[in-house]
Amino acid sequence: MVWFILCGFALLFMNPGTSLAGVNNNVMYDGRSLIIDGQHKILFSGSIHYPRSTPQMWPSLIAKAKEGGIDVIQTYVFWNLHEPQKGQFVFNGRSDIVAFMKEVHRQGLYVCLRIGPFIESEWTYGGFPVWLRNIPGIVFRSDNEPYKAEMQRFTAKIVDLMKSNELYASQGGPIILSQIENEYKNVESAFHERGPPYVLWAASMAEGFQTGVPWVMCKQDDAPGAVINACNGMKCGETFAGPNAPNKPAIWTEDWTSQYQVYGDEPYLRRYCLSCCTLYCKERKLCKLLHGGTNFGRTASEFVTTSYYDEAPLDEYGMPNEPKYSHLKELHAAVKLSISPLLAGEQTVVNLGQSQTAYVYKVKSGECAAFLVNNGSKDAIVQFQNSPYQLYPKSISILPDCKSVAFNTGKVSAQHATRSWTPTQKFDSHQNWQEYNEPIPTYDNTSLRQNIIVDQMRTTNDLSDYLWYTFSFQHDSPNPESTLNVQTHGHVLHSFVNGVLVGSGHGVHRNAGFALESKVNLNKGINHVSLLSAMVGLPDNGAYLERRDYGLHSVKIDGKDFSTYAWGYQVGLSGENLQIYTDTSKVQWHRLSSTKHPMTWYKTLFDAPAGNDPVALNLGSMGKGEVWINGQSIGRYWVSFHTPKGTPSQTWYHVPRSFLKPTGNLLVLIEEETGVDPVKISLDRISVAKVCALVSETHLHPVSTWMYQRTSGNLNNTRQNPGRKPTAKLRCPPNSYISKILYASYGNPSGDCKTYAAGSCHSEDSTAVVQKACLGKRRCSVSVSSEKFGDPCPRISKTLLVDAQCDCQPCTEKNLVISQSPTGKLVQNKPEWSLTITNNCICTQMSVKLSCDGFQSVEKIDSSVLSKSGSVCLVKGGQPIYGNSKFSFTYASATSFPFKPLSSQVACS
Note whether residue 24 is domain-resident. Answer: no
Instruction: Kindly state whether residues 294 and 223 are assigned to the same domain.
Output: yes
Q: Is residue 763 part of a domain?
A: yes
Residue 833: CATH number of its domain: 2.60.40
- Distances in Å between the Cα of 385 and the Cα atoms of 360, 370, 403, 719 are 11, 11, 8, 19
pLDDT computed for residue 272 by the predictor: 53
CA-to-CA separations, 42 to 20, 26, 36, 64, 338, in angstroms, rounded: 12, 15, 10, 20, 11
DSSP letter assigned to residue 881:
B
What gap in Å lies between CA 566 and CA 449, rounded to an integer?
Answer: 7
* CATH code for position 627: 2.60.120.260
DSSP string, 462-492: TS-SEEEEEEEEEE--S--EEEEEEEE-SSE
Tens of pLDDT, residue by residue over 770-783, are: 999 999 889 999 99
Interval 54-86: pLDDT, tens: 999 999 999 999 999 999 999 999 999 999 999
Does residue 767 fall inside a structural domain?
A: yes
Reported as a single tens digit per residue, the pLDDT across 156-182 is 999 999 999 999 999 999 999 999 999
Are both 541 and 640 inside the same structural domain? no
Q: Is 17 a domain residue?
A: no
User: Is 721 a domain residue?
Assistant: no
Q: Looking at residue 689, what is its pLDDT?
A: 92
Residue 672 annotated to the active site: no
Q: Which amino acid, one-letter code, is at 116?
A: G
Q: Of 767, 783, 808, which one is at a domain's C-terminal end?
A: 808
Residue 608 to residues 227, 662, 846, 905, Cα–Cα distance (Å): 50, 5, 12, 12
Cα–Cα dist 371/334, whole Å:
11
349 and 359 fall within a common domain: yes
31 found inside a domain? no
How far is 622 from 681, CA to CA, in rounded Å?
8
What pLDDT is stored for residue 479 in this prediction?
86
- Nearest Cα to 505, choosing from 490, 520, 519? 490
End-to-end CA distance of the chain: 48
- pLDDT of 769 higher than 90: yes
Which residues are 626's β-sheet partners?
A: 636, 670
CATH code, domain carrying 273: 3.20.20.80
pLDDT tens figures, 590-607: 999 999 999 999 999 999
In 3D, which of 109, 116, 218, 102 has the Cα closest to residue 162?
Answer: 102
Among the listed residues 729, 708, 896, 727, the one whose alpha carbon sits nearest the alpha carbon of residue 820: 896
Say what the pLDDT of residue 3 is. 32
* 245 and 366 housed in the same domain: no
Judgement on whether residues 645 and 565 belong to the same structural domain of the protein: no
Of 808, 831, 857, the one marking the end of a domain is 808
pLDDT tens digit sequence for 802-855: 999 998 766 788 889 999 999 999 999 999 999 999 998 867 888 999 999 999
Q: Which of 224-228, 235-239, 452-456 has the lowest mean pLDDT?
A: 235-239
Please give the residue range of the domain that contains residue 359: 345-410
Residue at 604: amino acid letter: T
Interhelix angle 145-164/97-106, nearest 10 degrees: 40
Positive or negative: CA dihedral 839, 843, 847, 851: negative
Co-location of 53 and 202 in the same domain = yes
**Domain-ending residue, one of 572, 589, 607:** 572
Same domain, yes or no, for 164 and 216?
Answer: yes
Tell me the pLDDT tens digit for each residue of 518-562.
999 999 999 999 999 999 999 999 999 999 999 999 999 999 999
Give me the number of domains the chain comprises: 6
**Across-strand partners of 606?**
665
- In the chain, the percentage of residues whose pLDDT exceeds 90 is 79
Annotation marks residue 517 as catalytic? no
Predicted local confidence at residue 711, as pLDDT: 35
Of 125, 580, 69, 30, the C-alpha closest to 343 is 30
Per the residue annotation, which of 83, 181, 254, 367 is the catalytic one? 254
User: Active-site residue among 103, 122, 150, 183?
Assistant: 183
| Collapsed DSSP state (helix, strand, coil) of residue 260 | coil
Note the pLDDT of residue 908. 59
Helix ranges (H only) for 598-668 are none
Same domain, 469 and 550: yes
**Minimum mean pLDDT range among 270-274, 586-590, 694-698:** 270-274
CA 62, CA 788: separation in Å to the nearest integer? 39
Is there a domain that residue 720 lies in? no
Same domain for 149 and 273?
yes
The pLDDT-based confidence of 885 (bands split at 50, 70, 90) is confident
C-alpha to C-alpha distances, 681 to 332, 603, 633, 659, nearest whole angstrom? 41, 12, 17, 18
Task: Give the burial string for 412-425 (b: 16+ CB within 10 Å, else e).
Answer: bbbbbbebebeebb
Q: Are residues 614 and 654 in the same domain?
A: yes
Contacts 24+ apart (CB under 8 A), 854-861: 855/893, 855/897, 855/899, 856/893, 857/891, 857/892, 857/893, 858/827, 858/828, 858/830, 858/892, 858/893, 859/827, 859/828, 859/830, 859/832, 859/890, 859/891, 859/892, 861/889, 861/891
**Residue 374 is assigned to a structural domain of this protein:** yes
In the three-class reduction of DSSP (H, G, I as helix; E, B as strand; rest coil), residue 146 is classed as helix
- Work out the burial of residue 731: count CB atoms within 10 Å of its CB; fewer than 13 is exposed, 13-18 middle, 19 or more buried: buried
Residue-wise pLDDT tens digits, 362-400: 999 899 999 999 999 999 999 999 999 999 999 999 999
Predicted confidence at residue 906, as pLDDT, reads: 78
Average pLDDT, the chain: 91
CA neighbor of 484 nearest in space, from 530, 453, 550: 530
pLDDT in tens, 5-36: 333 333 333 333 333 444 467 899 998 888 99
pLDDT of residue 478: 84
Q: Are residues 430 and 451 in the same domain?
A: no
Residue predicted with more confidence, 627 or 815: 627
Confidence band for 611, pLDDT divided at 50, 70 and 90: confident
Nearest to 509 by CA among 748, 300, 683: 300
pLDDT at 712: 35
Q: Are residues 339 and 368 in the same domain?
A: no
Residue 668 has pLDDT above 50, yes or no: yes
